[in-house]
Amino acid sequence: MQRLRKALPEGALLSKPEELRPYECDGLTAYRQLPLAVAIPETVAQVQEILRICEEVRLPVIPRGAGTGLSAGALPRKDGLVLSMARFRNILAVDPLNRTARVESGVTNRAISEAAAPYGLFYAPDPSSGVACTIGGNIAENAGGLHCLKYGLTVHNVLSVKIVTAKGNLLTLGAQGFDSPGFDLLALFIGSEGLLGVVVEATVRLLPRPPSSRLILAAFPSVESAARAVRLLIGRGLMPAALEMMDNLAIRAAEDFVHAGYPVDAAALLLCELDGLPEEVEDQIALAEDSLRESGANFLRLSSSEEERLLLWKGRKSAFPAVGRIAPDYYCMDGTIPRRAIPAALRRIAELSNAYGLRVANVFHAGDGNLHPLILYDASRPEELERVEKLGGRILELCVELGGVITGEHGVGAEKLDPMCLQFRAPELRQFHRIKTAFDPHGILNPGKAVPTLHRCAELGAMHVHQGKVPFPEIERF
């Protein structure tokens, strides 16, 4: 600790309990732990020195961006140092010709798009926490967002990163262009949840802002008919910029909260955004409206102004806090299934909800099958949390059974170590461990997150349903 204090400027190492309190959890507040200390370096050289010291004395290091993560990926350890990148806030360059921005890792997601806006460009991944979350954290978790159906996840939008390894070396991964020789360490690094190194700088792709964006709201008399619409829209060649679904519980909660004009009697609602050149968008709207009506939509509303579009989105974007108003607590799940399995998944979730006696609101990225069931409960009743966790586990198990995966965009963190044992078999887990060792031989970086030990999985035993029972059934025609 003495050595760390010497390596850092005045005030950059926190160790008093009241100073540590803000760092005890991330966005998944059910997991809390005070760290041993918090370092807030200002320069790359300081980050390198911190890691050199910590690796020498084997002190665990927990990298942290804005702490908005939802899987306890930034959960501290009582024997570990939190390494906050909050002071890496500079936008170093915006290059409109190459359509790239080079930024320090503590720059917020939103700030990148703001810096690119004068050139008609934007940074595509848009997690709901965009105002606060940092690009470093986005890279660690491979963040998604409403628009990743069309524009991809973080991994599709980052060209290069500078990282500091556990040994304190500064590496550049990736390049300014599409391809780069050597192994693709950049893609390996993105989504590695702080286990392989600490991002200090990133070069991201910028995209031209589409000249026109229109939103269609469609209400359905049943969840099945909404799911059918998702299939028709995608099956007919449309590529919506976003395609979101909400069920009745979520619709009512959101409408009560923001008064977006949602039809509160609908069993399910789809929000379908189309963007591009104005003529292209009009063609797409016509095709989308036909498909929605054919699937059974009994109410359609098309945004006629930018204000209306933003208002309709506001309901969806406020859905989590809105659900927070109708129950004392909620637990947000994150799993992904093939689009075809959406009706089956929602039916089974409803059955499980009944069986466990817990209400579940469904708000999710239907276009890419990324489910976010919100389990409502009351944390003041201790037995309820236990039931919630069991139900959550069953929902993730269901995702794997349906050929999907146990995450969509929130990462594994400290939260989903057990479900990882459902998803992967020993040979794959062993390969993950070998990769970890290849970057961090003494395991000082974010230990105990993201990848479970083989021992832990062995103890969980025979729960395994690898990659779904029917990953590729007969070709389905429609």
| Strands, E assignment, 193-288 | 198-205, 207-208, 212-220, 242-247, 268-276
Asked if 176 interacts with its own copies (CB under 8 A), we say: yes
Q: Mapping DSSP to helix (H, G, I), strand (E, B) and coil, where does residue 149 land?
A: helix
Closest CA to 272 of 248, 238, 295, 306: 238
Is 40 a binding residue for its own copies by CB under 8 A? The answer is: no
Residue placing its CB nearer to its own copies in the complex, 190 or 272: 190
11 part of the interface to its own copies, by CB under 8 A = no
Query: Count of residues binding its own copies (CB under 8 A)?
Result: 93
> Rounded CA gap, 377 and 326, in Å?
10
Q: CB of residue 352 vs its own copies: minimum separation in angstroms?
A: 21
Residue type at 224 in one-letter notation? E
Interface residue with its own copies, options 34, 175, 267, 300 (CB under 8 A): 175
Whole-angstrom Cα distance, residue 59 to residue 444? Answer: 6
Which stretch in 45-53, 251-259, 272-280, 306-314 sits in contact with its own copies by CB under 8 A? 272-280
Task: Note whether 368 binds its own copies by CB under 8 A.
Answer: yes
Q: Which of 126, 273, 409, 415 binds its own copies (CB under 8 A)?
A: 409
Residues 245-264 that bind its own copies (CB under 8 A): none
Among 235, 261, 321, 328, binds its own copies (CB under 8 A): 235
Binding positions for its own copies, 85-104, rule CB under 8 A: 92-99, 102
User: Distances in Å between the alpha carbon of 103 and those of 86, 172, 199?
Assistant: 13, 14, 11
* Smallest distance from its own copies to CB 312, Å: 24
Q: Which residues between 123 and 142 bind its own copies (CB under 8 A)?
A: 142
| Residue 464 sits in the site that holds its own copies (CB under 8 A) | no
**383 is an interface residue for its own copies by CB under 8 A:** no
Regarding 156 and contact with its own copies (CB under 8 A), the answer is: yes
Residues between 276 and 315 that touch its own copies (CB under 8 A): 276-277, 279-280, 283
CB of 78 to its own copies, least distance (A): 26
Say if strands 100-104 and 198-205 run parallel, antiparallel, or are unpaired: antiparallel
Whole-angstrom Cα distance, residue 227 to residue 340? Answer: 8
Interface with its own copies includes 192 (CB under 8 A)? Answer: yes
Cα 224 from chain centroid? 26
Task: Please tell me the number of Cα atoms within 13 Å of 150 on its side-chain side.
Answer: 20
Residue from the set 214, 231, 252, 316 that interacts with its own copies by CB under 8 A: 231
Residues 199-228 that bind its own copies (CB under 8 A): 203, 208
Alpha-carbon gap, residue 458 to 130, rounded angstroms: 38
Among 103, 363, 450, 457, binds its own copies (CB under 8 A): 450
> How many other CB atoms are found less than 10 A from the CB of residue 357?
10
Task: Please report how many Cα atoms fall inside a 13 Å half-sphere around the Cα of residue 48, on the Cβ side.
Answer: 9
Q: Are 73 and 47 within 8 A, CB to CB? A: no
